[in-house]
Amino acid sequence: MSVAPILEACRAEGRAALIGYLPVGFPSVEGSIEAMKVLVDNGVDIVEIGVPYSDPVMDGPVIQDAAVRALEAGVHLGDIFSAARAVSEAGAGALVMTYWNPVLRYGVDRFAADLAAAGGAGLITPDLIPDEAHDWTAAADANDLDKVFLVAPSSTPERLTKVTAACRGFVYATAVMGVTGARASVGEAAADLVSRTRAATDLPVCVGVGVSTGDQAAEVGRYADGVIVGSALVRCLTEAPTPQEGLAALGALARELADGVRRGRA
Amino acid sequence: MTTTSNVPAYGRFGGFGGRYVPEALIPALEQLEEVWRKAVVDPEFVGELERLQRTYTGRPSIITEVPRFAENCGGARVILKREDLNHTGSHKINNVLGQALLTKRMGKTRVIAETGAGQHGVATATAAALLGLECVVYMGRKDTERQALNVARMRLLGATVVPVDNGSKTLKDAVNEAFRDWVANVATTHYVLGTVTGPHPFPEMVRDFHRVIGVEARQQVLDLVGRLPDAVLACVGGGSNAIGIFHRFIDDRSVRLIGFEAGGEGVASGKHAARFSAGMPGVLHGAFTYVMQDVDGQTVESHSVSAGLDYPSVGPEHAHLLESGRAEYRPVTDEEAMEAFSLLSRTEGILPAIESAHALAGAMKVGRELGPDAVLLVNLSGRGDKDVHTAAAWFGLIDDEGGTVLPATTATTGGDSRSGSSDSSDNSDNSDNSDNSAGAKGMGVQQ
């Protein structure tokens, strides 16, 4: 089921949606699913379920570290479907974020069918551009799945038109040039990119890369349809002395961010 | 300037290749392709590159027939293309000079590179020094240790070397880190990718900068023997030296093209970099090609005694040459490569790079298969100076602390310390029968 209705409902409430990223399998498959439920319970509208991958070129140290530890702990691609089902049943949108090779190896059509069957909403594909996405586009269309491609501050008007035309659900705008990770300031590039993206599409535009605090969520939520937070949430888990303390920190940060998107346009 | 007849679709070799990278890099790749395609038809660029090849690299590189080595290759004639004699000691400079000139044309001031053995890093640092560019080289921590000499060379040339501690701490992880740098700094920085993989246009562009190897060698072999070789042999890591020497021969259907991958400790051991023997099609580092991967699509770590071949993927054009049947690819083990390394050193006075020694080991096999009428052209892609430490340790010439291990008889044999080592009269015999199972792998120290 597409995340479009969730974004629509947030818009009706006069606020940006909060989208939270966690990798499946860290600290364990069960532990990661529990953590995703904590996100939902504390105001996250859409969970971005990360597939740990051996060569994550778009990710900074925090997410790389979690991915390595998840793989060492034995996570498998099939665990994604359990996570999607759990998130969906908890009442949030379940979008999977994955580099392309795991899907390719699993089989694009089979992956799309299994994801749809598990209640997943679709895919965010950081290293798959629409130009190379013929198979995925066909499979997503056949299964009514969202196709979330990325745009960047470097994107030209031609690329913005091409990429947004291929998206369904929303458009993922990377706020800064660089890998994932918290930034002291999200900067003006994000607002500029959102405005240039809106010139190319009527789809919701959500902003990721660099957001870590409630204040930043409020700031970005003023002009974006959704605020995507990754590394800051992951760090709650990777730096916690115990899993319970990790979940507590995670819940607290999710509440702060949820409050941020609610006061952004107040 | 080059034929692209074997590229049926945009940025593809058959079904392989493409552009699997973050959207943030697409404008840079589009700019690179545009500047490159204009440059290669611009007499000023072509003239400048040719001038540098002639007056800086030392092109054309010579060919050398190696009859004493060939005695171990079934008597076939063996001819080496001497890319090891290029400035900086390998073929890598061909590509780097081209990309460095393009960097200037794009108005960028900084170059980054990945390196495994260090040869591409050294070449990039060299070109950056020559053209006044800032240079940062990413290198797996494990490779910085086994190629310490090249780390020092890069630093002496003014480059910053960044050891990479992620993943397997080798070439694959250095590439990941270079991509991360590039995404963040693409406005000022060009990524001088060192081999024929990565997103389009890198595989095609890097190939074209290396194509000069085969263009020269084809004519040189014709001049020397009066006919084309029966086979062209090269080692294949990412595959740049191989595609460089293969490409001019692709339309010569009588010429076999044979690439040699790192078989490591044997394909069955799982410790190797034999992508075509044990990998399958997938995506890594921007290209759809053969990748060593597990059932979940996670990249599997490779292994090779040679840092330059220790890479779990391979250029997409090689994948196409394999699937179309035009080229064949075989694994060569660490042991076989080191035997060939020793043999070429002792029979011809040429220390090859351990990477290139894989192609020499291949020549020993292929020569025996084809017999004395065959002519083999082997790309000697690099020199072995950087590998002296690795080879000395392999053959037991130094101990764990790097100290020299001398024959026990040295002090008591009247000063002739070489009396125990094999001499020229029995050398080929000795080499043919060398005992590869010996721990010290005997190189001139056993009695």
- Please write the tens of the pLDDT for every residue from B388-436: 999 999 999 988 777 888 776 655 444 444 333 444 444 344 333 333 3
Lowest mean pLDDT, pick from B166-170, B268-272, B306-310, B358-362? B166-170
First to last CA, chain B: 56
Q: Could you give the residue ranges of the DSSP H alpha helices within B247-353?
A: 275-278, 316-323, 334-348
Residue A173 in domain: no
Give the CATH number, domain containing residue A230: 3.20.20.70
Binary contact (B183, A179; C-beta < 8 A): yes
Residue A76 in domain: yes
User: Does the ipTM exceed 0.90?
Assistant: yes
User: Looking at CA atoms only, how far is residue A13 from chain B in angstroms?
Assistant: 32
pLDDT-derived band at B199 (thresholds 50, 70, 90) equals very high
Q: B26 pLDDT exceeds 70?
A: yes
A172 to chain B: closest CA residue: B23
Lowest mean pLDDT, pick from A120-134, A196-210, B6-20? B6-20
The CATH code belonging to domain B21-58+91-202 is: 3.40.50.1100
| Residue B54 DSSP label | I
pLDDT-derived band at B9 (thresholds 50, 70, 90) equals low
pLDDT-derived band at B326 (thresholds 50, 70, 90) equals very high
pTM above 0.80, yes or no: yes
Residue A103 in domain: yes
Kindly state the percentage of chain B with pLDDT values over 70.
89
Q: Where in chain B is the domain with CATH 3.40.50.1100?
A: 21-58+91-202, 63-88+211-393
Q: Give SS3 for B245.
A: helix
Rounded CA-CA distance A77/A64 in Å is 17
pLDDT at B277: 92
Binary contact (B296, A102; C-beta < 8 A): yes
pLDDT at B423: 40
CA proximity to B11, closest of B204, B145, B256, B293:
B204
Kindly state the percentage of chain B with pLDDT values over 90.
82
A176-192, pLDDT tens digit by residue?
888 888 777 777 889 99
A-chain residues near B181 (CB < 8 A): none
pLDDT at B424: 40
Fold exhibited by the domain B63-88+211-393: Rossmann fold (3.40.50)
CB B194, CB B114: distance < 8 Å: yes
Active site residues of A: 48, 59
Binary contact (B166, A174; C-beta < 8 A): no
Residue range of the domain that includes A71: 3-147+210-261
Residue A86 in domain: yes
Binary contact (A156, B27; C-beta < 8 A): yes
A-chain residues near B297 (CB < 8 A): 53, 77, 101-106
Binary contact (A58, B183; C-beta < 8 A): yes
Active site residues of B: 92, 114, 381
Stretch B213-228: mean pLDDT: 98
Residue A75 in domain: yes
At A87, list the tokens. Answer: 């998130």
pLDDT-derived band at B148 (thresholds 50, 70, 90) equals confident
Binary contact (A105, B166; C-beta < 8 A): no
Distances in whole angstroms, Cα of residue B426 to Cα of each of A58, A72, B282, B347: 57, 52, 49, 11
Q: B374 pLDDT exceeds 80?
A: yes
Tell me how many domains chain A contains.
Answer: 1
Q: A57 pLDDT exceeds 70?
A: yes
A-chain residues near B176 (CB < 8 A): 55-57
Q: Give SS3 for B328.
A: strand
Stretch B250-274: mean pLDDT: 97
DSSP H or E run through A174 = strand A171-174
pLDDT at A226: 98
pLDDT at B411: 52
A65-119, pLDDT tens digit by residue?
999 999 999 999 999 999 999 999 999 999 999 999 999 999 999 999 999 999 9
pLDDT at A177: 86
pLDDT at B285: 97
The average confidence (pLDDT) of chain B is: 90
A134 touches chain B (CB under 8 A): no
A/B interface, count of CB pairs below 8 Å: 110
Task: For an interface test with A, give the residue of B285, B296, B301 to mutate (most A CBs within 10 A).
Answer: B296
